[in-house]
Structure 1
Amino acid sequence: MVTRSEIDYEAVFRASQAPSMLLTADFVVLAVNDACLELAGRSPQDVLGRNLFDVFPPNPVAPQDAEQQGARMLRNSLEQVVTTRRRDFMPLQRYDIEAPGRPGVFEERYWSTVNTPVLGPHGEVRWIVLSSEEVTDFVRALRRSGAGGEQDSLALQLQTLNDQLRRAHREQRETTSALREAIERQRRLVSDASHDLRNPITGLLTELEVALSEPGIDLQRILRKLLRDAERLNDIVADLLDLARLDSEAHEDEQLIDLAEFVSEELDRRTPRTAVLTRLDPQVYVRASAIRLARLLGNLMTNAERHTHTKIEVVVTADPPDAVLEVLDDGPGIPPEDRERVFERRYRREEARVRDPGGSGLGLSIAREIAQEHGGRLYVAEHHSGARLVLRLPLAGERCCGEDAAERRP
């Protein structure tokens, strides 16, 4: 039995019937097999240590669309292999070869080429194996049969067909990838729903069993507990419905909104759980869905109410080209290492889980996705005491067009 250590891979490479070369990642020829040397009419000294495109330069007098496109396609394929670290099957190409011993005289040739990366220990492309099959006789036979018109029309038609097939294959891969992502989003949504709904439903069932089994129990206390669990269920369902809308890219109609007026009205609708201070600059306009923006603000306020000690501050201002909404609290704050993680679905810091064990961990994630849906961004900024969440949306209306962009605040 032959083991891997007994195989002479260099001998296998040299003996291969497919013309092949071993290139560096910048296309210098390191090795070439006998089939390639024979086909090209070159010696090892003519090839080794030289750049591939210096050894085999494009034919300067060939039809521009044929020869120059072939050289460009080969270079693009090799660069793609280096970038993607994946094998690339090239479409049929014309690439003329300079006749041996006749400088400047080129012979018309057609090739089918495969470029394969050889990876190093850290996943980098260390070498490229270029393997080609010459199909010149096949192309000429088709041309003689009448399948082609002008001299290079058949090759160009085949190249066009191959390009179309490659594009169709790429589009199919992109479609498949999008479907997989959609399926994964739906799977996460079902998982989120199952996990988040279980606790309040269990609480409801437990309280109902206790109410039915214990005579003389305080029904008012039970009903208040059931009401809290029902409210929690309502909040979770609202979160999950928002996620479903975001994942399906369903957008409500957008409208021009005065951010200060909007925030003031939304805050008036809330039952205050702590002191709320506002500093709202007028005539800061954004174009957004009022329903989505209200959901975003509500999630930021709920988060601040959960963590603040004495007060919440809400700020609206213009910082061209952005409209800025800030929600600040004087709670324990968010450490730098968690300032991105708090926007992950279902991520909850230990302090948040202690304060509100029934939370879903979806509020800030939904808020960020709504911001991104409107071309903005939501992030945690530095704050001397507590947390500072900053929403930036593109300014709309006069404030956007009539003021010069100033240096952005952090």
Structure 2
Amino acid sequence: MVPSEVDYRAVFMALAAPLLVLTPDFVVVGANNSYLEMTGRGLEDLVGRDYFAVFPGNPNVPDDPDAQGAERLRASLERVCATGERHTMPLQRYDIEASGRPGVFEERYWSTINIPVLGPDGEVELVVHRTEEVTDFLRQLGRFDERGVTGTRTELEAAGTDVFAHALQELNERLKQTQREQQETTSALQEVIERQRRFVFDASHDLRNPITGLLTELEVAISEPHTDLHQILSKLMLNAERLNDIVADALEIARLETATPAATELVDLGRLVVDELGRRALTTTVLAQLDDHVVVKASWIRVARLLCNLLANAERHTATAIEIVVTAAPPEAVLEVIDDGPGIAAADRERVFERLCRLEDASRRDPGGSGLGLPIAREIAQSYGGHLYAADHPTGARFVLRLPLAA
């Protein structure tokens, strides 16, 4: 949330870059903490004073063209005030007087930018002086001997080139990292495309079975006029239902991947289970243990679809009864569907969530299954920040849904 009033002075003081604010007459009106720490000065030493009175430059090296930092800085500031445009200075030497030691100057090197602040009339009202000390960095580059810097402009320019080379090396490393990330993204996209290609191929193969059944029965009806039409229509109906189930599941997969999640509402999982059991005519016994007020934020229709898919899977495999458990395990709501069938081997507990994956027992018990029910259920769970997985159970299969509890 953006605060109604920003304390710009606090922001300025906290900035990491060393900053000094000057009037067009080069009188100091402000400095942030980074600048004070870098120069070893306090605000009382700077504010209200002429910059060049505080930092007069080193008079001990008047004939060294590379040590005339004060003159070059003054020229840069005058240029900014005259043009109203920022000026980036080349790497320069500007010795400063040691704090508390008048007349003692320390050799320093700086990278500086001077930036104008314009008033409503377009005139320069203030100048922001941003400077970074690079003395230690130059020492690390080995540009110093026992007397200090080697003294010629060529050496100083070479040091500046090294600074640029160092920055270029960092940029190159960042570009390499970006390239690696792009390669990973490309690989992930290729994997998704390949998965979609396999899905289309497998789904097309599955669609051929009911279509072939429909065509066969129609051919029989046409070629044999005295065939029992009721029997043929019954078979046609079964194949049409199978075809409809596959298409519906494929469309649901597409919706989950391409659309935003359906609008959310507060869903009481216990009430949802009771409601769906009342709608569904199951062929086996259902035992329900439902805690009250286990509420999640999701789409009732989507979570009901998830539950129906789990119930269909359990009904296909159970021997005598299905157990449904709803409980709260903060910060999550937990819904479990347990059957007492043959169960799922540990090695297959992730495979069952792969699209169109049908284990041998599932294919035998229900040859018409689409192999998309469990993948759809998992994608619905993930779309609301949850997780669906097959857990260990002494007898039968146990599917566990975990969703964040609503506040």
TM-score normalised to structure 1 length: 0.58
- Superposition deviation, residue 369 in structure 1: 2.5
Q: Retained in 2: the 8 A contact 1:185–1:247?
A: no
The one-letter code matched in structure 2 to 1:276 is V
Partner Cα separation in structure 2 for residue 106 and residue 182 of structure 1:
61
State the secondary structure of the residue aligned to 2:327.
strand
The one of 284, 296, 306 equivalent to 2:316 is 306
1:381-392 alignment runs, 5 A limit: 381-392=391-402
Partner of 1:182: 192
Moved more, 214-223 or 299-308: 214-223
- Superposition deviation, residue 282 in structure 1: 1.5
Partner Cα separation in structure 2 for residue 178 and residue 67 of structure 1:
46
Q: Retained in 2: the 8 A contact 1:189–1:243?
A: no
The one of 381, 384, 393 equivalent to 2:403 is 393
Moved more, 270-279 or 200-209: 270-279
Distance 1:153 1:249, change over 3 A: farther
Partner Cα separation in structure 2 for residue 295 and residue 263 of structure 1:
11
Distance 1:300 1:239, change over 3 A: same
- Confirm whether residue 292 of structure 1 aligns to residue 316 of structure 2: no
- Superposition deviation, residue 142 in structure 1: 12
Partner Cα separation in structure 2 for residue 107 and residue 255 of structure 1:
71
Partner Cα separation in structure 1 for residue 384 and residue 285 of structure 2:
30
The one of 203, 218, 223 equivalent to 1:208 is 218
- Superposition deviation, residue 307 in structure 1: 0.8
- Superposition deviation, residue 166 in structure 1: 3.4
Partner of 2:345: 335
TM-superposition CA deviations, 1:98-141 (whole Å, max 9, x none) = 99xx9x99999xxxxxxxxxxxxxxxxxxxxxxxxxxxxxxx89
The one-letter code matched in structure 1 to 2:201 is S
State the secondary structure of the residue aligned to 1:326.
strand
Moved more, 240-249 or 345-354: 240-249
In angstroms, what is the RMSD of aligned CA positions? 3.6
Q: Retained in 1: the 8 A contact 2:203–2:356?
A: no
Partner of 2:275: 265
Instruction: For structure 2, list consecutive stretches of 5 or more residues without a partner in the other structure.
Output: 1-107, 111-131
- Superposition deviation, residue 66 in structure 1: 7.8
Distance 1:159 1:335, change over 3 A: closer
TM-score normalised to structure 2 length: 0.59
- Confirm whether residue 252 of structure 1 aligns to residue 269 of structure 2: no
TM-superposition CA deviations, 1:152-188 (whole Å, max 9, x none) = 6533552464355335434533442343233223212
1:21-170 alignment runs, 5 A limit: 96=141, 143=157, 154-155=164-165, 157-159=167-169, 161-163=171-173, 165-166=175-176, 168-170=178-180
- Confirm whether residue 219 of structure 1 aligns to residue 229 of structure 2: yes
Instruction: For structure 1, list consecutive stretches of 5 or more residues without a partner in the other structure.
Output: 1-60, 71-93, 109-139, 398-410
Q: Retained in 2: the 8 A contact 1:286–1:393?
A: yes
Partner of 2:55: none
The one-letter code matched in structure 2 to 1:302 is A
Partner of 1:346: 356
Partner of 1:52: none
Q: Retained in 1: the 8 A contact 2:296–2:406?
A: yes
The one of 384, 388, 391 equivalent to 1:378 is 388
- Superposition deviation, residue 324 in structure 1: 0.8
- Superposition deviation, residue 355 in structure 1: 0.9
Partner of 2:245: 235
Partner of 2:88: none
- Confirm whether residue 173 of structure 1 aligns to residue 183 of structure 2: yes
The one-letter code matched in structure 1 to 2:256 is L
Partner Cα separation in structure 1 for residue 225 and residue 236 of structure 2:
18
- Confirm whether residue 366 of structure 1 aligns to residue 390 of structure 2: no
TM-superposition CA deviations, 1:19-71 (whole Å, max 9, x none) = xxxxxxxxxxxxxxxxxxxxxxxxxxxxxxxxxxxxxxxxxx9999989999x
Partner Cα separation in structure 1 for residue 271 and residue 227 of structure 2:
48
Tell me which structure has the larger Cα radius of gyration.
2
State the secondary structure of the residue aligned to 1:196.
helix
1:312-323 alignment runs, 5 A limit: 312-323=322-333
The one-letter code matched in structure 2 to 1:382 is D
TM-superposition CA deviations, 1:254-299 (whole Å, max 9, x none) = 2221111122222222222222222221110111223321221111
Report percent identity of matched pairs: 59
- Confirm whether residue 277 of structure 1 aligns to residue 293 of structure 2: no
Partner Cα separation in structure 2 for residue 288 and residue 371 of structure 1:
9
Q: Retained in 1: the 8 A contact 2:317–2:342?
A: yes
TM-superposition CA deviations, 1:375-399 (whole Å, max 9, x none) = 22222223333222111111112xx
TM-superposition CA deviations, 1:281-325 (whole Å, max 9, x none) = 111011122332122111101101111122212111111121111
State the number of aligned residues. Answer: 276
Partner Cα separation in structure 2 for residue 245 and residue 65 of structure 1:
57
